[in-house]
């Protein structure tokens, strides 16, 4: 290598490091929306050794997720996700192919059908009722307020652990729940952080990540061990639940016994549900509550609808949620403005591809900026406003299932979220029961809740878990 080439290489490396550390540190949906305004609806960022393609128009989203859904249907991983998914032995982060197809088929019957909704909806209603009872019992809730999220988190774990293991946790202090929550929280924090991007993008910097990756490995080991010891092994010895019905893990273990998947795959399915189902739905409920507190007129309109259609004090059920168009509109608006996974889970093309006439090198990470699609003023009326009415007026034909490429809170196509079938009724039951039973208010001395966002690699949640006053209604 001559001197000039060496100088150029070093200069190139220097710029790659600067871009990877400065830009790579905050690749959130809002920054990427600003780049789209500057660079267009498709642009490529070269981050060290990784190519990152950002797609920001409904037409191009359709191309990636639908028309070329197979070409762009894989997932990128990175040094951290490789650890947590055993290099794609799971379903969410595996490439598009035989393994994914098998995992998705095996998971469909136990998790993603209307039969599952009908089997578990009474349990979800009972969990929401238990939240209402616990809040009513706590005098602090009506006076200075409580961090409602903590109780809702227990509810969400119970909603999903009933489906998975026919299990629930009695209280927020249950030691097993505390341990599980801490390990899942640590896994999310480590995976969603931007902290490790520099070492992921630039392999020669990877030695600096050694400490970080060691912690990831330890958390992963402890977590999978916990799933195995306390949940999966227990189920291995029980045939069916008390009422004779199978829970999800029974179906999954059957697939293992048939030799379709191995024990690691079983544990990665449990891992996937823990991250894909619980936190996403919880964040959405938390955003919904915050928006309802900050928009008392919307909250009142929703309460009036529930009182009129269901009757004051009549406990709202899952079938009721479909009779409540304003409740549905509140949920859609929450998922639009506060999209829990604003960039979808990153997609990837295994082979060289073309998009809008541009060459996309193989193994590029493809981010569809779904948040921008749903918040671009060129396509939506006053998108920054929280206004559920839009879904009853000018956007009344738009559904959350991807029937309109401007609105993709669950993605669309092959890698879209199969959990939508569970998430929507859980959101409806929970928000419905809360508004039905309480007046939700900011804490004394505060007129609004702080709704500052915190973004991660592909998550969006509220920065500060709000304290909320819940005044019980009397019927
Ligand atoms: C409000 C709650 C939820 C939201 C907003 C949400 C959103 C999403 C999004 C945007 C994706 C990626 C789509 C893509 O990459 O094109 C996804 C994938 C996925 N979600 Fe959800 N989700 C939610 C709840 C759930 C629930 C309750 C479950 C399971 C019970 C679940 C299971 C999954 C799985 C397994 C995938 C990966 C699909 C694949 O790669 O083939 N999600 N979700």
Backbone phi, then psi, for 7, in 5-degree steps? -60, -45
Work out the percent of the chain whose per-residue pLDDT is above 90: 83
Distances (CA, A) of 255 to 244, 251, 310, 395: 19, 6, 42, 43
User: Looking at the whole model, is its pTM more than 0.85?
Assistant: yes
Task: Round to whole Å and give the CA distance between 219 and 464.
Answer: 25
CB contact at 8 A, 413 and 70: no
Distance CA 152, CA 283 (A): 10
- Homologous superfamily (CATH) of 2-472 is Cytochrome P450 (1.10.630.10)
Measured CA distances, 332 to 342, 395, 440, 461 (Å):
14, 11, 20, 16
Mean pLDDT of all residues in the chain? 92
Q: Is 184 in the pocket of ligand 1 (CB under 6 A)?
A: no
Report whether 216 belongs to an annotated binding site: no
Q: Which atom of ligand 1 is nearest to the CA of 345?
A: 15
CA of 44 to the centre of ligand 1 (A): 25
Contact 431, 155 (CB under 8 A): no
Strand locations in 130-245, DSSP E? none
pLDDT digit string (tens) for 17-49? 445 444 555 788 999 999 999 999 999 998 888
Q: Quick check: 61 and 53 in contact, CB under 8 A?
A: no
Distance, in Å, from the CA atom of 9 to the CA atom of 18, rounded to the nearest integer, reads 14
Q: What is the pLDDT of residues 312-343, one digit of tens each?
A: 999 999 999 999 999 999 999 999 999 999 99
Average pLDDT on 358-374 reads: 96
User: Exposure string (b/e) for 75-100, b if CB count within 10 Å is 16 or more?
Assistant: bbbbbbbebbbbebbbbbbbbbeebb
Higher pLDDT among residues 397 and 235, named by residue: 397
Q: Is the pLDDT of residue 202 over 50?
A: yes
Domain extent listing, the chain:
2-472
Q: Distance (Å, rounded) from C-alpha 187 to C-alpha 197?
A: 16
Residue with CA nearest ligand 1 atom 42: 419
Sign of the Cα torsion 121, 123, 126, 130 reads: negative
Distance 92 CA to ligand 1 centre (A): 8
What pLDDT, on a 0 to 100 scale, did the predictor assign at position 64? 98
- CA of 417 from ligand 1 middle (Å) equals 4
């Amino acid at each position: 290598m001559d001197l000039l080439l060496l100088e150029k290489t070093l200069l190139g490396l220097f710029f790659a490091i600067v871009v990877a550390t400065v830009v790579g540190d905050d690749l959130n949906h809002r920054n990427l929306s600003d780049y789209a305004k500057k660079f267009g609806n498709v642009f490529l960022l070269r981050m060290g050794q990784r190519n990152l393609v950002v797609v920001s128009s409904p037409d191009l989203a359709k191309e990636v997720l639908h028309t070329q859904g197979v070409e762009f249907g894989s997932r990128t991983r990175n040094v951290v996700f490789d650890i947590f998914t055993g290099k794609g032995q799971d379903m969410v982060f595996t490439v598009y192919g035989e393994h994914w197809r098998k995992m998705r088929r095996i998971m469909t019957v136990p998790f993603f059908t209307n039969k599952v909704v009908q089997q578990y909806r009474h349990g979800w209603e009972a969990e929401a009722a238990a939240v209402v009872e616990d809040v009513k019992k706590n005098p602090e809730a009506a006076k200075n307020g409580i961090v409602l999220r903590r109780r809702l988190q227990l509810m969400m774990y119970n909603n999903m652990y009933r489906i998975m293991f026919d299990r629930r946790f009695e209280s927020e202090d249950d030691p097993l729940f505390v341990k599980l929550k801490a390990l899942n929280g640590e896994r999310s924090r480590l995976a969603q952080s931007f902290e490790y991007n520099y070492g992921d993008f630039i392999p020669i910097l990877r030695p600096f990540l050694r400490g970080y990756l060691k912690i990831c490995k330890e958390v992963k080991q402890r977590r999978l061990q916990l799933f195995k010891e306390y949940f999966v092994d227990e189920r291995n010895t029980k045939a069916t639940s008390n009422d004779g019905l199978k829970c999800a893990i029974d179906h999954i273990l059957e697939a293992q016994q048939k030799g379709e998947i191995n024990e690691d795959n079983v544990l990665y399915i449990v891992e996937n549900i823990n991250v894909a189902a619980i936190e996403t739905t919880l964040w959405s409920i938390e955003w919904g509550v915050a928006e309802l507190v900050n928009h008392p007129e919307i909250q009142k309109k929703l309460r009036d609808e529930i009182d009129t259609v269901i009757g004051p004090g009549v406990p709202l059920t899952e079938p009721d949620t479909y009779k409540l168009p304003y409740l549905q509109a509140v949920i859609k608006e929450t998922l639009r403005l506060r999209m829990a996974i604003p960039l979808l889970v990153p997609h990837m093309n295994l082979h060289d591809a073309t998009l809008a006439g541009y060459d996309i090198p193989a193994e590029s990470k493809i981010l569809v900026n779904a948040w921008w699609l749903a918040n671009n003023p060129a396509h939506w009326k006053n998108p920054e406003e929280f206004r559920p009415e839009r879904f009853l007026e000018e956007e009344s034909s738009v559904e959350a299932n991807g029937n309109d490429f401007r609105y993709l809170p669950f993605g669309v196509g092959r890698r879209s979220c199969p959990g939508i079938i569970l998430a929507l009724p859980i959101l409806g039951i929970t928000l419905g029961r809360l508004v039905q039973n309480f007046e939700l208010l900011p804490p004394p001395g505060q007129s609004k809740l702080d709704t500052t966002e915190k973004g991660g690699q592909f998550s969006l949640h509220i920065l500060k878990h709000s304290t909320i006053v819940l005044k019980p209604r009397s019927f």
